[in-house]
Each structure stands twice: as structure tokens, then as C-alpha cells.
Amino acid sequence: MVEKNIAALVVPSGDPHQSEYMADFWQARQWLTGFTGSAGTAVVTKDAAILWTDFRYWIQAASQIGTSDFELFKQGEPGVPAFEAWLYQTLSSGDIIAMDGKIVSAANVKKYKKVFTEKGMTLATDVDLIADIWTDRPPMPASRAWMLSDTYAGKTRLEKLDQIRSAMAKTGANTHLMTTLDDIAWTFNLRGEDVRNTPVNLAFALVTLDRAILFINPSKVDGKLVSAFGQDNIELLPYTRVEEILGSLGQETRIRLDPDFVGYAFYQAVDPKVWIIEKINPATELKAVKNETEINHMRQTAIKDGVAMVNFLHWIENRTDSAQVSEMSVAKTLFDFRKQQLDFYNNSFDPIMAYGEHSAMCHYSATPESDVPLKREGMFLNDSGGNYLTGTTDITRTLNLGTPAKQEIKDYTLVLKGHICVASALFPEGTKGFQIDTLARQFLWKEGMNFGHGTGHGVGFFLCVHEGPAKISPFPIDVELKKGMLLTNEPGLYREGRYGIRLENMILVVKDRKTEFGQFMKFENMTLCHFETSMVDRELLCQKEIDYLNTYHQQVYERLSPVLDPQVAAWLKKKTAPI
Amino acid sequence: MVEKNIAALVVPSGDPHQSEYMADFWQARQWLTGFTGSAGTAVVTKDAAILWTDFRYWIQAASQIGTSDFELFKQGEPGVPAFEAWLYQTLSSGDIIAMDGKIVSAANVKKYKKVFTEKGMTLATDVDLIADIWTDRPPMPASRAWMLSDTYAGKTRLEKLDQIRSAMAKTGANTHLMTTLDDIAWTFNLRGEDVRNTPVNLAFALVTLDRAILFINPSKVDGKLVSAFGQDNIELLPYTRVEEILGSLGQETRIRLDPDFVGYAFYQAVDPKVWIIEKINPATELKAVKNETEINHMRQTAIKDGVAMVNFLHWIENRTDSAQVSEMSVAKTLFDFRKQQLDFYNNSFDPIMAYGEHSAMCHYSATPESDVPLKREGMFLNDSGGNYLTGTTDITRTLNLGTPAKQEIKDYTLVLKGHICVASALFPEGTKGFQIDTLARQFLWKEGMNFGHGTGHGVGFFLCVHEGPAKISPFPIDVELKKGMLLTNEPGLYREGRYGIRLENMILVVKDRKTEFGQFMKFENMTLCHFETSMVDRELLCQKEIDYLNTYHQQVYERLSPVLDPQVAAWLKKKTAPI
């Protein structure tokens, strides 16, 4: 820093694809600070070393940076400035701040530049100090890339490129830059293992109205792939050449890109004379709406994943006393149940197996240090999912391993009421997720309770378990819930130091009736697994809610029992008995 | 246009203050097209004359422009381009488009410029063709300005300026431009009659950290006012001098202004070397949170306005057959009932007195041509409000003048369920209006129904009946519902060509309990008037809803009966009897 006259180095969490889950190669912030959480920003100046992270990670970060020189700033706490505001306050006019422009979005860099420029400070985005000093940096991921068959994907690469090109043309674009790995995987029907639990490949893509270039490490692509792409008129170039090609675009280019997801370095690489159209990627919008083939696969996947879950819950309840079960071991058990299912590929995320007070932490992840045995009492929250060739799943169930207390039953019932209210909602076409979110919270609010996460997120098809652009959340994301969108419905309740509850199904947006007030939509449940009727206080439910629960349970039993072991089916019959 | 080489003239609805209701002086679009609705944009080119307006006015506009050369473009209809898109498509590179930069917000002009520049067209904002040719233009309003006593306002001008200056300083501003008339009226505790039904004065204001300038026509201000302002160190300058003063600001100026509400001409008038901080006006945020004095006044106003409303509804039900009553005449009758109340000043808006199928039009306004007599049958929706020195009111009630049909009762009950759900909601501190909106709609949605307006809007204190920044609406306005905010709660249902229902009270945000999940908020009803129990289907209500209605009715009776005529009180006793 002294050599390069840099007053502050900013090391955020990020990769050149703005991924939620990143390969180790880009875990620079973790390497620098020792903090392993998924979100945080480190800042180093002459006099200070500070780590910002949000409330989810305050305890973990404090413990992990304990012996280092880093100080923890609790992001979001009243009086704690954001890192850019802190730099604005602390540094002086003329100072240079360095940040790797590859891993921070163009939108964020522009925002930071505006703040710093106001005080005469400079943001340098072309300095990567970390690359020079991180000597034991893990290698770039280099998994083999492979084709997802059209029989799973439902649409060919060329059909998808056609859709993308129509969307481009509508906004006057003749070129489109994609940096987001799931959009690229979806568009090219390509899968890989470059990111843990997310079947994607490191790549960039540039689509014009008649060509497409995929920037991918040549060692990842075998001859069969090369020839398949050749047939589809898709050019392959090395991953590292994207900036050079962006710099050589002709002035007649009108490039569409999403500044929230394109790294600043790539945005800057585009010739300044080229017209940039800032808009969401067409693939982001297109892949969120599942096609008929995908939907049919997912209906089957619901059965497979339901069987794995019911086997797991049956095993939990009937395990012998001698069985050594802990949070970490049951994660393995559930994985094994899923692995028995056809077309299973991997977990869709690291499962949250949270026993007792651990269940009160929304983002708990058991480690050898935190792992505890599961006793014959207490609350157990399990949130997990599988990636199948036939779709991605995400499910949460909560149960008491002994006899539930009165308050646990009341809390479970209130969370279930919210879950049912969303699942059985009817809503006008054009409704957005933030309008649905309140349905899940209203019964908790009435009792002075709430939960600190969104009600639901989009889910990919054999892709990311968290997929944009739609959400069901109090955060006002201006995206309509369209027919074919796959989301989760997962209200919860967390009593710190005691227990947490979350009840999650996947739901698909489908059409309902058309009235004089327009087209109405509803949700179809895409998860088949019983809830714990032993934790339901019938008195707190209205008749319609009771009917919903009984109908759902009947459906769970009817669809799963034919493929379950008879003994497990008999157990499920009891678990799904009408209340 | 030919003389000045202008290819297209755009005449939007607007004044230099971005007012919702405007003085006649600025009704240029109405003068040009003949269309009297509140929102619309006229465009004139060599070959075309087009009026854009939204769905509320399609029928009215078509009829009003009938014999003119204007063509109607139905704004929002699929396939109908926005006016800027139409100009983009129709005109050529090099063409000049003219628009009065005084009456269009800086934010909108910037947006239009971006579109036009893309095609090499120019937007000229300093040409006011209308001013030259509109020979019988009404005069500028020039009502007397007068002081609202601190005993009503609750805070002095200097206290309010202090609050504004603190807010300015927090964003690094040393100067602040206000163009919005209600913000100026609130800040300076000034009222007037320059705009129909809204007690404001035409003015601009410039606030620095130690001075304030009010730009107002000198003939509006008497000696007493001049000396009062002098004492408070507030300088008075003529209304027309604001641009000149903005142009003369020193380079050390950091001016805060809201580009959505400041006309482009004023934004442009600021010396380009001055740093502009684009942010909502502090006064907009401050005045939305009512102070204790205002709240106490409003609780009394609720009784006064409630008495007027109950007198009116009693009169409607008990009018003799010989009484000549029509939509327009009952508006006058209600006005007279309000006028009997202490501190009444004027209507807060033109009342909507909508009988029969007229009630299905949300924005119906009776004219001599549309006016119909009220019979002893059919639905009657009345939406009205008063401006009192002690606060502004807004209330809607719907009744059947004969015997309600089964469907009318069901519809009324479903709307009432939504109204009750909002009124009785508990919600965490920090909740925003769009999160509450769904509570009002969910019962209608379940039946495939909906209504096409927001659930509620902010209300001023003896100011605008529609006041920002908070709303209860599906439109995601990112503003928290803070303690002290006054809003409306007005779900509805409209069956085109048949009838409409709307049930509106004003509600105040107040604190409720604090739990382990944080501070919770609720609403206090600020409107006292019964609903029609004869239109309520008790079977569709749950016990909590029945309890709410009975408790509210008991409160209405207890607060109003002591000040009602005994005969009316006896009638109210029956109307508020428990169901």
C-alpha cells in the first residue's frame, strides 16, 4: 500500500460473477480476516483494520477475528457507519482507495465513486494487491463442463438464445454481456462443479443478434462439447479474454448488461463510445419462468425428495437409542436418503441441521466445534435441499424430539397459519412478492412477533437454490409473480437462545380463475412432506385452515405411499391423519 | 412552432410547484384540449394533435375532445406508447421538442432528455409557446396570505426551520430549495386560498443554515405579516425572483432539493458549479409526523366532522319525499352541516357524491350534465372532507337508499373485513405502507375480486388532503409508517355499470407494546362515524371482527351523542347497536 501510495484497501466478498456462493479462489476477504461467513467487507488503512458484517454473523465474526488485528464493525447497528461512509469520514482529500474492480458490481463502484469524489478522494479499481501477496491462494476451479440434455432442460440452447435475442432487440440492444454463472448455465444448457453445491461453470458470455461467444477455460471443455457448440454456431474463447473482446466492440454496438451483476472492470472494459443499455439480463427473467418440461420434472422431483424426507423423518423418530446421532451425522443420513433417489446429483446447499437453541439461528451451520448430539427432547429444525437432474429442491421442517411445550405448539401453529395463508392465496395477475409477504406474517404480528428473513425466494431448475429476480419479501422487489415461477414459502419464528421454527415448501405460480376483476393466480405446492400435527393447536386454526392441512396431508400420503417402504408408508398414514 | 423550428410541442398538466390541484392559471393543457381531467399530456406536431390520459379519464376525455382536432391515446393500454416513446418513434434526428421546463419536474425532464438524446433530438425547455398565444389566460391567483396561529400549528416557524436545518446539515447541505406549496405553508405556518380547496399560497422558499427567503407576491402580504417575518429573520422577495437568486448562489453552496418536485427550470437555474444534493424535502418528512398539538386538535376534529357526517346521514335517511335531492344538492347539504362546526374553513376537496352506477367510478365528480336525483333505492357512495383550522378530514361511507341486494351485502362485508383488518393491525416498527396494503385486499382476492386504487394516503394538518410521503398502496413506496403519521384506510370494490363501495376512515400511527421481537405499532381511528350494519353479513365475520365493529360503534356513539341533537343521537344509538 505504501509503495503504491494507497491510503485504504477495501476487500469485499465477491467474485467476477457476483455469485452468492463463491469458489475458494475468491475467498480473499476470508483469507485476510479469518472470518468465514458469506458476507462482509474488510478495510485496511495505515492505522486501522476493520471488518464489516451484518447481524447474521456478528457472533461468528467476533470469535473468528478474535486474535487478529481486525476490529469488528456491526453493519446495520445504529451509529455504525457503512464502510464507504467511514472512509469518507476518516480519509482526506487526495487519498487513494483501492478495490478490485473485477469483483465489485459496476452499480456499487459508481455509488462509492460518487461518495469519494465528493471529498476529492480517488477510488482505484485496477489495483489487485491481494493477488500479489496471497501466496497460498487456492487454484481456479476447473471442473469438467457437461451438457444438460434437452429432455431435462425442455428447451435447446438455440431456442433460449432466440428468446434472449428477442428481448435484446426490444430494448434496442444488438449485444449482451452475461457474467452471472447461472444465467450462462441456463442459456447454454451447461452444467459443472466449479462452485460447491451449485452446478455451474466459470464463464462469461457475449451474445449478439447472430453470434454467441462463451468465454470458458479450454481445459474444461471436451471435444464432444466443442463440436456441439460449433454446430450451434457458438464460439469458444478462453475465460481470460472477455475484457479484451469487450474493448474491441465496434461503435455501432449497443450492449445490454445488468450493472448490479456485472463487475466494474468489465463494465469499464467496454469502449466508452459504445452505447450501454443497463437492464436486467433477459436470461434472469426467462429462466425464472419454468417451462412445461421443467415443471413436469419438478412434480416428479417433489415425490422423490418427499420420499427422502419422509424416510429421514421416520428414521429420526424411530432411531434406536444406540445410534450416534448429531447435527452433522444426520446431515449425512439425509444426504444418503436423497442419494437413493433417481437423478440425484448433490445437495443444493449445505444443510442446516439445527438442534435446540441452534435452531434459533436462521443461518446456523454445524461445525465440528458446534456439533451436538440429538437427544430425545427439544426442537430440531432441518433445512435442506437436493439438486437433481430433474430440478432443485429446498424444504424445511421443524419438530420436537420429545414432547413439545405449550408455547412451542402455539408458535408452530402461528407459523403454520402464515404458511397456509400464502400456500392457499388467490391473487390478481401482476401481484408482486412483497404484496404476498404480509400474508405470512400477519398472525405473528397480531401477537407481537415477527421473523427476520424473507418469506420466500426463487429456486432454479437444477441450478441455484436462491434464484432471482422474484422474491416474497418485505423488501420491495418490483417483479411480478408470473405463471411458472418457482418460489419457496418459508415463514419462521426464532426465540434467541431457545428455539426456532421454520416451515418451508416450494410453490409454483399457476393460473386460477378469470373474473370481471381480471385474471387471478394461485400457488401449487411443489413439496410433498407432512407437517407435525402433534405441534398444531387446532383451536388456533379456522375451518378453512384445517381443511387445507388435511387436504395437503392426504395428497402427501397418496403421492408418496406407493413408492415408500410399506412400514414407512404405514407410519406416514398416521402422521398425515386428519386433525 | 414553425417560426421557432419546433417539431413537437408537449403540454403536460403541471404548475411550477408540482401540485396535485392547480390554479386555473396553469390549466394550459385543459385550455388547449378542452379536457378538464386532472392528469393528461397533450402533444402537437405538424401532422398530429394527441392527448394522453390514464384509464380514469378515458371516457371523459373522449367526450370532451370530441369536436376538436385532438386524438385520444389511452395511456397504459397495451400497445399504446408513452408520449416520449411516441415522439421517439415519430420524429427524426435533429428535431426540436418544446416543453415548458418550469412545470415539469427535473427528474422527468432528465428522463425525457435521455430518451430524445439517444436519437439525436433536442428537448428545449425554455420555450413557453402557450404563454404567447393564450390570450384569455386566467390571472395568477392572488389571495391574501395569513398566519396559522401556533396554538393550531403546535410549533413555531423558527422551531420548524431549526428541524429543517438539522436535516439539511445531516446530508451536508447548507441551502435548501422548496417549491412545494404545502411544505412551504407548513414550514412558515402560512395559509391562503391560491388553490381551490387547498389552503396554500403560491411561493418558493430558500433556506440556508442561518437565513430564509420566502418568494411571494408582495401584494399577498400585509404589514403585520411583513413585520412578523422580519422578527423571525425571514426575508421576503417577489415570487418571480427565485430563478435569479438561484443563479447567484456562491460556489460554496451545497443545495438540497427534491428533483421529483422541483421544476427543471429552477433546477437548471442553479449555477452548475453548485453541488446539488438530491433528496426529499425535510419538510415533507417532518410535516407527515403530526405533533402532539396537531394530534389533540385532530381528535376534536374527528368529533366535529363525525357530527356533521352523522347529521348528514340522518338527514339522508329521514328526508321528506318532497325534498329535491340530487348528487349535487346533497354535496351542498353536507357542506352546510360541516359549516356549522367550529373552526371549519372549507371542503378539503370536491366531494364525490356518487349515486347508483356513478358509485362504480372511483373518481366520479357530479356535473350539471351528470347529476341525478337520489331515489329511495340503490347504492350511494359519498367521499368528502373538510378543512378545519384544527385539521383536515377525509371520509367515505356507502349505503343503500332502499333495501340492499344479497350481493351488495356480501361485497360491503368483504370490503369492511379489509377495512377492519387494517384498522386493527399490529405491525413492527419500520413496516411500510405496501406491507399493510395486502391486509385490506386479501378477503376480496379470495373471491377473485380487487380494487384499482391504493388503500390509503397521507393527510395534511389543515393542508392537502393527499399528503406524502407515506401511502398504503401496492406501489412500493419506501417510507416507514412512523408514530404520528396520519393516513386513510379506504378499501373499496367497484362493479362497472352497477355500483361501487368504499369505506374510509382516517387512522393515526401510534405505539403499541414492545416485545422480544421489538417495538410494535398500531392505528388509532381518527374518524368517528358509523358503518351500515344493515349491509353487514354477520356470517362472513369472525368473532374478532364482530367485536371490533361493536367496540368502534360504541365509541362513535359515546363520543358523538353528547354533542348531537337528541333526536339524531337516538337515531345513532340504533345505527350503532351491537350486531
Q: For the residues of A276-296, what is the DSSP string, one character each?
A: EEE---HHHHHHHB--HHHHH
| A-chain residues near B455 (CB < 8 A) | none
CA atoms in the 13 A half-sphere facing the CB of B426:
16
* Rounded CA separation A367/A324 (Å): 16
Tell me which long-range contacts A61-68 makes (C-beta under 8 A, separation of at least 24): A61/A35, A61/A37, A64/A33, A64/A34, A64/A35, A64/A36, A65/A33, A65/A34, A65/A35, A68/A33, A68/A34
**Number of residues that make up chain A:** 579
- Reported as a pLDDT band with limits 50, 70 and 90, residue B132 is confident
**Number of residues that make up chain B:** 579
| Per-residue DSSP letter, B573 | H
Check whether A38 has a pLDDT greater than 90.
no
Cell 452468492 belongs to A20
Least Cα distance to A531 among A552, A507, A506, A558 occurs for A552
- Reported as a pLDDT band with limits 50, 70 and 90, residue B136 is very high
* Arithmetic mean of pLDDT, B450-477: 97
- The reported pLDDT for the residue numbered B303 is 98
Which tens digits make up the pLDDT trace of A174-189?
999 999 999 999 999 9
* Rounded CA separation B43/A531 (Å): 61
* Under 8 Å between Cβ of A99 and A125: yes
Check whether A325 has a pLDDT greater than 90.
yes
| B-chain residues near A434 (CB < 8 A) | 434-435, 476
| B-chain residues near A431 (CB < 8 A) | 474
- The reported pLDDT for the residue numbered A164 is 98
| B-chain residues near A437 (CB < 8 A) | 435, 438
Give me B143's grid cell.
Answer: 389571495
Least Cα distance to A375 among A422, A330, A335, A427 occurs for A330
Which tens digits make up the pLDDT trace of B257-275?
999 999 999 999 999 999 9
* Under 8 Å between Cβ of B462 and B445: no
Could you tell me what percentage of chain A is helix, strand and coil, using 3-state DSSP and rounding each to the nearest 5?
40, 25, 40
* Arithmetic mean of pLDDT, A474-500: 97
β-pair type (A204-208, A175-178): antiparallel
The answer to whether the Cβ–Cβ distance between A434 and B436 falls below 8 Å is no
| A-chain residues near B515 (CB < 8 A) | 448-449
Coil, strand or helix: which one is A16? coil
Which tens digits make up the pLDDT trace of A398-408?
999 999 999 99
- Reported as a pLDDT band with limits 50, 70 and 90, residue B57 is confident
Give me B504's grid cell.
Answer: 374510509
**Which residue type is seen at B535?**
M
Radius of gyration of the CA atoms of chain B, in A: 25
* Arithmetic mean of pLDDT, A6-16: 96
Distance from B515 to chain A by nearest Cα, in Å?
Answer: 6
Residue A426 phi/psi, 5° resolution? -115, 140
CA atoms in the 13 A half-sphere facing the CB of B155:
22
Give me A270's grid cell.
Answer: 467496454
* Arithmetic mean of pLDDT, A435-442: 98
Residue B231 phi/psi, 5° resolution? -60, -35
* Rounded CA separation B39/B54 (Å): 7
- The reported pLDDT for the residue numbered B68 is 83
Q: Which residues of B544-564 are buried (b: 16+ CB within 10 A; e: fewer)?
A: ebeebbeebbeebbeebbeeb
Check whether A564 has a pLDDT greater than 80.
yes
The answer to whether the Cβ–Cβ distance between B515 and A449 falls below 8 Å is yes
Cell 422474491 belongs to A471
Residue B191: its H or E element? strand B190-191
Percent of chain B with pLDDT over 90: 92
Radius of gyration of the CA atoms of chain A, in A: 25
Cell 413408492 belongs to A563
Residue B308: its H or E element? helix B292-318
- The reported pLDDT for the residue numbered A128 is 84
Crossing angle for the helix pair B566-575 and B292-318, to the nearest 10 degrees? 90
Cell 451484518 belongs to A54
Distance from B251 to chain A by nearest Cα, in Å?
Answer: 14
* Rounded CA separation A272/B59 (Å): 48
Give me B131's grid cell.
Answer: 404563454
* Rounded CA separation B113/B119 (Å): 10
* Arithmetic mean of pLDDT, A18-45: 93
Q: What is the pTM of this model?
A: 0.95
- The reported pLDDT for the residue numbered A131 is 85
- Determine the residue among A111, A442, A479, A514 to mutate to test chain B binding: the one whose Cβ has the most chain B Cβ atoms within 10 Å: A442
Check whether B323 has a pLDDT greater than 80.
no
Which tens digits make up the pLDDT trace of B204-260?
999 999 999 999 999 999 999 999 999 999 999 999 999 999 999 999 999 999 999
- Reported as a pLDDT band with limits 50, 70 and 90, residue A115 is very high
* Rounded CA separation B273/B326 (Å): 60
Check whether A322 has a pLDDT greater than 80.
no
**Residue of B434, B441, B448 lying closest to A476 (CB–CB):** B434
Distance from A165 to chain B by nearest Cα, in Å?
Answer: 21
| B-chain residues near A277 (CB < 8 A) | none
Coil, strand or helix: which one is A255? strand
- The reported pLDDT for the residue numbered A255 is 97
- The reported pLDDT for the residue numbered B37 is 87
**Residues of A at the B interface, defined by Cβ within 8 angstroms:** 118, 275, 421, 425-428, 431-432, 434-439, 442, 445-450, 474, 476, 478, 495-496, 512-513, 515-518, 520, 542
Give me A199's grid cell.
Answer: 452446478
* Under 8 Å between Cβ of A64 and A34: yes
Cell 367550529 belongs to B342
> Between A and B, how many residue pairs show a Cβ–Cβ distance under 8 A?
78
| A-chain residues near B431 (CB < 8 A) | 474
- The reported pLDDT for the residue numbered A178 is 98
* Rounded CA separation A462/A348 (Å): 8
Distance from A180 to chain B by nearest Cα, in Å?
Answer: 27
**Which residue type is seen at A247?**
G
* Rounded CA separation B233/B207 (Å): 11
The answer to whether the Cβ–Cβ distance between A445 and B275 falls below 8 Å is no
- Reported as a pLDDT band with limits 50, 70 and 90, residue A517 is very high
| A-chain residues near B445 (CB < 8 A) | 425-428, 520
- Reported as a pLDDT band with limits 50, 70 and 90, residue B358 is very high
* Arithmetic mean of pLDDT, A153-161: 98
Evaluate whether ipTM surpasses 0.85.
yes
| A-chain residues near B516 (CB < 8 A) | 495-496
* Rounded CA separation A135/A112 (Å): 29
* Under 8 Å between Cβ of B368 and B385: no
- The reported pLDDT for the residue numbered B324 is 81
* Arithmetic mean of pLDDT, A494-523: 97
Cell 461467513 belongs to A37
Average pLDDT for chain B = 96
Angle among Cα A343, A348, A352 to the nearest 5 degrees reads 130
The answer to whether the Cβ–Cβ distance between A448 and B118 falls below 8 Å is no
| A-chain residues near B428 (CB < 8 A) | 445, 450
The contacts of residue A299 (CB under 8 Å, 6+ apart) are A526
- The reported pLDDT for the residue numbered A5 is 94
Check whether A67 has a pLDDT greater than 90.
no
Average pLDDT for chain A = 96
The answer to whether the Cβ–Cβ distance between B426 and A435 falls below 8 Å is no
Nearest chain A residue to B431 by CA: give it: A474
Nearest chain A residue to B118 by CA: give it: A275
- The reported pLDDT for the residue numbered B514 is 98
* Under 8 Å between Cβ of A267 and A257: yes
Least Cα distance to A1 among A167, A129, A124 occurs for A129
- The reported pLDDT for the residue numbered A6 is 96
* Under 8 Å between Cβ of B194 and B346: no
- Reported as a pLDDT band with limits 50, 70 and 90, residue A323 is confident
* Rounded CA separation A273/A263 (Å): 19
Distance from A492 to chain B by nearest Cα, in Å?
Answer: 13
Tell me which long-range contacts B37-40 makes (C-beta under 8 A, separation of at least 24): B37/B61, B37/B64, B38/B13, B39/B13, B40/B12, B40/B13
- Determine the residue among A435, A498, A511, A522 to mutate to test chain B binding: the one whose Cβ has the most chain B Cβ atoms within 10 Å: A435
**Residue of A275, A431, A446 lying closest to B426 (CB–CB):** A446
* Arithmetic mean of pLDDT, B487-504: 97
